[in-house]
A and B are shown apart, each in its own frame.
Chain A
């Protein structure tokens, strides 16, 4: 009895069916609703929403600061990854485990903790001559906190798998340690660094709980885009909220796409071993 689709292992229809159903109900239908709502008042209204002055001010925080924090994490993360993979010292395991802390801490907890540290009466806030909390600097620190593990964890495997022979060969040829780093090692980890930064950026762009407390949410100054969405929803401006949400979703898709490309590049450059 010829069948057109035959599988050796059981459960194809059940598992795929349930998976697609779950996705459909949770993601696809809601995203369709979002798209519909976004353009329900026409394209000009959409542009009006996302190009509003307040929205643009929020992009500077959500996107701009995420980029800066990503870059910062890129540099710091590289050093940390270097130290963790190349040196041995007491407390190395603990340091390594601490990197995952932002993943372990719920965002609201991180948010209030960072505020406790950097508010003007905070542990660090009172030691510093300038304001950190309730300024974009505070947002920057929160985003750097959130993004650091992405960078470190992306660079570590690549660094660990770099063949030692590369450096030894360069050293035999008379290169100084610094030269070896800039000409041999850094180019080799660059894909990983860029991938890590993009991951951190992608995550930071949508970050809410860690940022909302330390930001202070001062209009046009320290507002982030997700906050604007929340505000519009509270005011029942559904199309406007949808518009901003749609915009952020598009950006997320674009970042996801970019990440896939970077990861392929990264895998190829570092020998493709996972």
Chain B
């Protein structure tokens, strides 16, 4: 663990206006990553403005008091840097990375759009057209379209029912007034986090510079306390969609706890054992030994108020869907009742450590992880301490987490059935299944 001492260079502070800053000095490449995360996303929207958070992801590049339209992006390009932004259920994040000597420029750009964003009809109408295009791009992919329907059902009646894309009828009618209200309410320093990672002089110097840029904007003063966890729906659902996608696919989803819950880490470990890599249980059993699927995998989506554990298999048309679904469920059941072995636990530790080591080579990755842990899990130290938490975790505790969360009676299943079956794919699948097994 010697090299992970990079974390000794980490510091945080909260300014008078409530803005929190986290800073990590990372010597090496002469670059710096600056990320500003606002703790608002699609979960903070109401009917009539579904998708407005995503509008802001776009409009934040369309100019502010001292920065012209797209000038933010252009100025970062001009020094060889890169930028991005994304909208999720709980956050809207703005990502910048520049050569280290341009840190002040990025801070100034970010503070200008936090303080004085330009919101008018012209900007809104142009971005509305762009967002409609983006929405259509997603819907023109049958797999994405079906999955959006699936997650809508999974979180039905709760804060996460709508994805960050929102609702087309709302996207078409969101007004300048709606945007102004949303901006004043959520784009406030006391609802934001700034993370700076890279080849800097010192964290203290960075905090002073942040304070100079962002300190003038007063706190909003609204209640930004973390929302309560939402109980999962305890009902099963089975969905089938006939799609223009030539590969059958089965997805099963189980309730998972909020990211800050004590069960989140155990479920992450179980997910790795069950679904990640060629030595995972699902790959060995479903893909290799039984040849039911071409590939199998899974992921946990950990959000602020709830979560979802997904497992999927892609298979050939000759295999009955029911067998694939049963095989996926059996793997989940096996860890629910039997837990994992010490050898599997050791593999997880090595995998997590390797992933962590490689994350630490990149200022962008470190920023992203710190910002996520602070904004979604409630404390960036969770990410910093993840390896030691893993070391101290009792293998037997994992079963309890699975039993508490991966509730079979709440399982949601999505079957994507191709409208058209390719005969060659069918034949290849059949040939594979008829071959002798090792």
A binds B: no
Q: Hey, which bits of chain B sit against chain A, CB under 8 A?
A: none
Enumerate chain A interface residues (CB-CB to B < 8 A). none
